[in-house]
Each structure stands twice: as structure tokens, then as C-alpha cells.
Structure 1
């Protein structure tokens, strides 16, 4: 059963999957490059899986805010672990996007199978990171837009690649 017959109702499925490969690769790279710089507010996270302020460990004067923006910014262990896991999934997803592009060029549909697996993982991880950002951060408008754009398009992209991967039904 094909979920999508034509990409955006006007582009042949083969070329739609090619577009998806490039667009999703760019979105994954942007998420991987931007997400580690999300600031956290110390007041909300004092007793939950935290490290001390970054400034005390590096020996930087707390009044010097050139590197941190404000005195009370820091990064916690849960966020760092989620970012590392997200980075691994995003690297795998970029590889799957490359295989999806190769799938459209060579007509070997089985090469798009890794995209189906990593697309689901990427969606779940970005959703968890978005929930964590909402709960722990403030003033992360760029992160909200970037993750929101990735999550909004991920479902349709995934359904399109599944439609490309699965053979047409003989009904």
C-alpha cells in the first residue's frame, strides 16, 4: 500500500525522494550543528542530574560573561547525553539520506530501507529534545523553529520514502 502517490501532489515519487534526501540531509546537519549551544537556566535545574556551573570547573571568573552570555548558564548531563545520542542518530540519518539519494539514482529501492529506520529514531529523539527544551530552557526560538521544521516535515518525508520503498499493490 502506497501512502503517497506523488510528492506534494505534483512531483513524481522518484524525484520527490531525491528532494527529500537533500532537504533532510541539510536539516539533520543544521540540527547537529546548532543544538549543542542551547543555554539552560540554573534555577530550574538545580537538583536534577546537574553538574556545577561550567565556570567553576574551568576557573573562569563568574563576572566574565564573554563566553557564557550570563553568569547562570550551564549545561546538564541529561541534555549532553541526549545531544550525543541525537548526534549519533543524525550522523546515521545523513548516511541513510545519502543511500536514499543513491536509491533514486540506481532504481534500487532496498537502499532506502535505512532511511525508514533512522527516520523513526530521529523523529523520536528530536521530539524528546523538544520536550526537554520546553521544560528546561528559555529563549530558544531558533531551536524551536529548527526542531519544529524537522518534525513537521519528518512525517510526510517518512511516508513518502515508505511509499517509494514498498512495491505497488496489485489490486
Structure 2
């Protein structure tokens, strides 16, 4: 007996893993493409990110308006989150493939990246809350991903572990 016998109490676990794979791909793409809490800084946009100096001897000041926040930790977490989300999308494809080919070992990368994704999104959510950013869409995307992640992970784990003979 696995951890999840039926996905949402009505769908076989095999088909539940297919649903989990597609839903998780969509959530990962949304979280990776839309994270408005960080602005990326490049050398060529220095003039966009700076305000005019008040005097000729003063260097230009960085723009610190209400819609801008630049932080090395946030930028590093954004890049790390993108790497984890790309790995997780590949793991979702492998989990879907494992149901089509009945090779349960192909779901193992999902189990590993699912934990990494959960931890990284939880750290990012904690960072956003402690910095008191007003990012309602990001809260919804990350919250929806974290809310479903545990049940999705348990569903794939139930598919991955062989059924016991009791």
C-alpha cells in the first residue's frame, strides 16, 4: 500500500502522476517567468537605474522608487530558483515518461527536485515576507506551488515505490 492509493481519491496513481507532471510544469514555468520582486541589473541599464545627481561633483544615485529593489541575495536566489525550476521541469517530463513506459525509476529525479523546489520557494517566500514587499501575484504563485507540492510529491513517491504484497 502506497502513501496515496488514489490521486484525489478518484484517479489511479499512474494517471495522477501524469496530471501532477503537467500541473507542476505549468506552475514551475509561471514561477520562473513571473517573479516581479526582483529587478535584474546589467551594466547597460545603469542609466535607467540611476537618478540625475544633485550637483556636478556628486556621483549618480541609484533609483530607489517604490517599484525597485535590488539585492545580491535576492538576485542569487532568483538565479538558483531558475536552475532548480529548470531541473524540476525536466524531472516532470521524466515522471510523465515513467508512467507511459512503466519504468518507475524514471520518477526518482522528481522526488529529488521536488524537495529542492519546495525548500527554495519557501526561502524565497520567507525573504519576500521579511522584506515586506507587496507582491500579491508572487504570493499567490509561490503559495499555490507550495500548497500542492507536498501532495504532488507524495503521489509521485507512491508511484515510484513498488506496491507491497500484503
Q: What is aligned with 1:104?
A: 99
Q: Does the alignment pair 1:170 with 2:158? A: no
Distance 1:79 1:91 in 2: 18
Distance 2:67 2:26 in 1: 33
Alignment partner of 1:157 out of 145, 152, 159: 152
Q: What is aligned with 1:122?
A: 117
Distance 1:2 1:22 in 2: 22
Contact residue 93 and residue 119 of structure 1 kept, 8 A? yes
TM-score (norm 1): 0.82
Q: What is aligned with 1:45?
A: none
Alignment partner of 1:87 out of 82, 107, 128: 82
Q: What is aligned with 1:43?
A: none
SS in 2 for 1:31: helix
Give the 5 Å matches for 1:22-37: 22-35=22-35, 37=36
Contact residue 25 and residue 89 of structure 2 kept, 8 A? yes
TM-score (norm 2): 0.85
Contact residue 21 and residue 92 of structure 2 kept, 8 A? yes
Counting helix residues as a fraction of each chain, which structure ranks higher?
1
Q: What is aligned with 1:62?
A: 51
Q: What is aligned with 2:20?
A: 20
CA 1:155 to 1:72, structure 2 compared with 1: closer, same or farther past 3 Å?
A: closer
Contact residue 121 and residue 142 of structure 2 kept, 8 A? yes
SS in 1 for 2:3: coil
Unaligned runs of 5+ in 2: 53-62
The number of residue pairs the alignment matches comes to 153
CA 1:120 to 1:20, structure 2 compared with 1: closer, same or farther past 3 Å?
A: same
Unaligned runs of 5+ in 1: 41-52
Q: Which runs of 4+ in 1 moved over 4 A?
A: none
Deviation at 1:59, TM superposition (A): 2.2
